[in-house]
Structure 1
């Protein structure tokens, strides 16, 4: 059955005229409307409070745009919030720019925008500015979203490679690889059922609690593209120390573990969208672990390793008693996972 023009995004939706106005007011503002956005000015004006301001920007091109546990809209909000959160910032505002292929179903666009609105409500933030561009069929794949996030870093928060020292403990807030494997399974139609669900979630509340109650949080990183192994290597290289990780302490769910073994994929290199690594002073590691486990997003948190003097290497103590060297992700085994 042919698709009616009123059911899909047209090039005219991006030309700045009547259809653009209808799209902005009838769809975007209906879901995302707030005092700042509804002013419809060329630039949003808003308070940021005391402290240092943090700004991050990201683009989301995930394939497929809908997956178990989320979609490109939820991912765009949570991914941007998490970049602010692991930098020590309290997320306040987002902008969102939509690049849409002509022919994209309006029902799917509304589903994405509604998902973004729900994620913003859950995170307690607002989208205060946006843009929409429509391109011809075949010029991009369905829908891409670019976001910018603005947050405030409270006075006294100091995270960075310069603070890491031998003896510090390394923690993660839960099972690794859920997002990357869920997206891969959905894209390729592997049929793992509901065992593989993305961990897409906003982390600012759990990271904020750690920073509010502990002085020994040295660094945090969200474990997105390249997974735990790549992030650990980047941290080791930038701080000039070695990281020693324990394979038996690294949490990986049974579904991800089984699928990874079947497909020959290493879970330590799989992307995550609701997991972060924290480097914490040894005297506060156990308290940090307890704080993580008290949060819904940290129920399976673990201490997975230790910082030692070295020259920027990452070593994995394997379950068989050997030692494995971990390096940056090479190649792109999971393209377009965020």
Structure 2
């Protein structure tokens, strides 16, 4: 709109950002593929295979934090966006915008972290770009990564396949990433001793897809946390989502810090978590496979798809009452991924 300015909260993953995407980028670019707003675009079949393509940009303060850094974050984020579409990540690009004065040693550490993480994820960085801007024009370093993967068989994963009675599963504790970044900033005098969950999820996802035939939807709950992701899933749908507060895995350290600072763990960013919606009969298989994987030891069913409350996320609280879980307009904490 005329006179309206971009605020920091527009990049937080909340309602401001979603409205901007839907009202500006989607209608102007006018792409049927983009309109779906999936984590990755599924392109036309080439040689009998569906090509999955995604891109993301990363800015985090500080650039090194417990359990990760901006380089590891960039690789994991792009790999995970491809994997949750049921595709095998293969190739990545790496574009860096660096502030004048950044130490070469710091850059080398970040690049080495990217290489190590890419190798662990089984992907190859095949192209890139490097730019330097004047001091003060960018905060140390920004990274963009794009990724390509393939789906070798017909994968029925998407919001259209979600059914009433489906179970909602997450592979472990939520909120570790955002609290790790917060503690690294040393703004609140908190020494949390919490590591980010930043990790490539493609191995875990590949395992569960081999074990279960009725996985209907997957998404990694990054900015805005699981509350935002669940609202993205249910928006405009004829079903609702019911989650149970006592089933949602949160470490005691994260829960304590949230109570001190007034944060809601449901809205905390994650970088190594996947929400899986699958058929009721397949939930046990998915949980069993997850729990055998290093990234799924605390996997649990946190809720189910319901016929009632269409288009809404409802949570049964520990006291037995029910409340609507809405999407935040902005963010509890900016610049965490």
Under a length normalisation based on structure 2, what TM-score does the superposition of the two structures give? 0.84
Asked if residue 141 in structure 1 is aligned to residue 139 in structure 2, the reply is: yes
Q: Is the 8 A contact 2:231 2:326 kept in 1?
A: yes
- Pick the aligned partner of 1:65 from 39, 63, 66: 63
Structure 1, residues 89-109: CA drift from partner, whole Å, max 9, x if none? 100010000000000111110
> Unaligned 5+ residue runs, structure 2?
1-45
Give the SS at the match of 2:148.
strand
- Matches of 2:155 and 2:190, distance apart in 1: 43
Q: Is the 8 A contact 2:246 2:317 kept in 1?
A: yes
Report what 2:42 is aligned to: none
- Matches of 2:222 and 2:239, distance apart in 1: 22
- Matches of 2:92 and 2:199, distance apart in 1: 16
Give the SS at the match of 2:196.
coil
Structure 1, residues 117-136: CA drift from partner, whole Å, max 9, x if none? 11011111110000000000
Report what 1:45 is aligned to: none
Report what 1:196 is aligned to: 194
Asked if residue 256 in structure 1 is aligned to residue 254 in structure 2, the reply is: yes
152-161 vs 279-288, which moves further: 152-161
Give the SS at the match of 1:296.
coil
> Unaligned 5+ residue runs, structure 1?
1-47
- Pick the aligned partner of 2:50 from 52, 58, 65: 52
The alignment yields a C-alpha RMSD, in angstroms, of 1.3
- Matches of 1:284 and 1:169, distance apart in 2: 9
Report what 2:32 is aligned to: none
Offset of residue 237 of structure 1:
1.2
Asked if residue 270 in structure 1 is aligned to residue 268 in structure 2, the reply is: yes
Report what 2:332 is aligned to: 333
Give the SS at the match of 1:80.
helix
Structure 1, residues 227-279: CA drift from partner, whole Å, max 9, x if none? 00010111111433100000000000111111111110000000000001000
- Matches of 2:93 and 2:236, distance apart in 1: 30
Give the SS at the match of 2:216.
strand
Asked if residue 90 in structure 1 is aligned to residue 88 in structure 2, the reply is: yes
- Matches of 1:216 and 1:256, distance apart in 2: 33
Structure 1, residues 164-220: CA drift from partner, whole Å, max 9, x if none? 011000000000000011111212444543621100000001111111221110000
Give the SS at the match of 2:295.
helix
Under a length normalisation based on structure 1, what TM-score does the superposition of the two structures give? 0.84
Q: Is the 8 A contact 2:171 2:298 kept in 1?
A: yes
- Pick the aligned partner of 2:112 from 114, 125, 132: 114
- Matches of 2:216 and 2:263, distance apart in 1: 31
- Pick the aligned partner of 2:166 from 159, 168, 189: 168
Offset of residue 50 of structure 1:
5.1
Report what 1:301 is aligned to: 299
Q: Is the 8 A contact 2:88 2:150 kept in 1?
A: yes
Q: Is the 8 A contact 1:164 1:239 kept in 2?
A: no
Alpha-carbon spacing, 1:164–1:90, altered in 2? closer, same or farther (3 Å):
same
159-168 vs 206-215, which moves further: 206-215
Offset of residue 332 of structure 1:
2.1
Report what 1:223 is aligned to: 221
Report what 1:150 is aligned to: 148
Give the SS at the match of 2:258.
helix
Report what 1:39 is aligned to: none
